[in-house]
Amino acid sequence: KQEVTQIPAALSVPEGENLVLNCSFTDSAIYNLQWFRQDPGKGLTSLLLIQSSQREQTSGRLNASLDKSSGRSTLYIAASQPGDSATYLCATAGSARQLTFGSGTQLTVLP
Amino acid sequence: DADVTQTPRNRITKTGKRIMLECSQTKGHDRMYWYRQDPGLGLQLIYYSFDVKDINKGEISDGYSVSRQAQAKFSLSLESAIPNQTALYFCATSDILGGQFFGPGTRLTVL
């Protein structure tokens, strides 16, 4: 059974800092890995999707990497802003495209 | 208009009542999913469906049932609600590349 772990559970940084969120998973036989953003009481917004054959994806200030052999992914956020404050969820997709989620990292960017 | 809609958005009910949560999508995707999120945790898969004739249990299906009425509609039922089913419920669809698109969620409280 796939297990996804995110560390740290919470992170607080001053505005402008670059930061890295970590995600690890136990089963490397994944179809893809996705990073989502969740604002309080809201749904999930897809940020980046990395197919199993890819090593990284970039979108604006966000860069996500995938290392299947070590069971790790990182989400890099450059020049953080208060609007980046949210919970960030990592999820791996199995053969049926069903997702297994980590518990998330709650990010607070202080002005 | 939202691509994935859920009704109701909020529901308070009593122990033992039967509850149905509905999900509709306009994305034309065959694959649909129901997830549950408990406070401070990631999402867990309840059921998923590849098409109207193909429905599969997820990791926490006990106490739940589903119906795929059409490609665009996937309903989740709680046959006899209990307090520990109080949670945020999300419906999602998946495209051929495995990217998932989430509805806004239904907040269910069982008293």
Q: At A89, list the tokens.
A: 């969820």
Name the closest residue on chain A to residue B97, using Cα atoms: A51
Tens of pLDDT along B15-35? 999 999 999 999 999 999 999
**DSSP character at residue B83:** G
> B79 to chain A nearest CA, in Å?
24
pLDDT in tens, chain A (111 residues): 899 999 999 999 999 999 999 999 999 999 999 999 999 878 899 999 999 999 999 999 999 999 999 999 999 999 999 999 999 999 999 888 889 999 999 999 999
In Å, how far from its chain's centre is CA B76? 5
pLDDT band at B2 (very low <50, low <70, confident <90, very high): low
* 3-state SS, residue A15: coil
A11: Cβ contacts below 8 Å, ≥ 6 apart: A19, A21, A105, A106, A107, A108
A27 chain-B contacts, CB cut-off 8 A:
none
**Range list of β-strands (E), chain B:** 4-7, 10-13, 19-25, 31-37, 43-51, 54-57, 64-70, 73-78, 87-94, 100-102, 106-110
Name the closest residue on chain A to residue B58, using Cα atoms: A98
Using only the alpha carbons of chain A, give its radius of gyration.
Answer: 13
pLDDT for position B27: 92
Upper half-sphere CA count for residue B7 (Cβ side, 13 Å) = 4
Number of other CB atoms surrounding residue B98 within 10 Å: 22
> B46 to chain A nearest CA, in Å?
10
Rounded Cα gap, residues B32 and B24, in angstroms: 10
Residue B55 contacts A where some CB pair is shorter than 8 Å: no
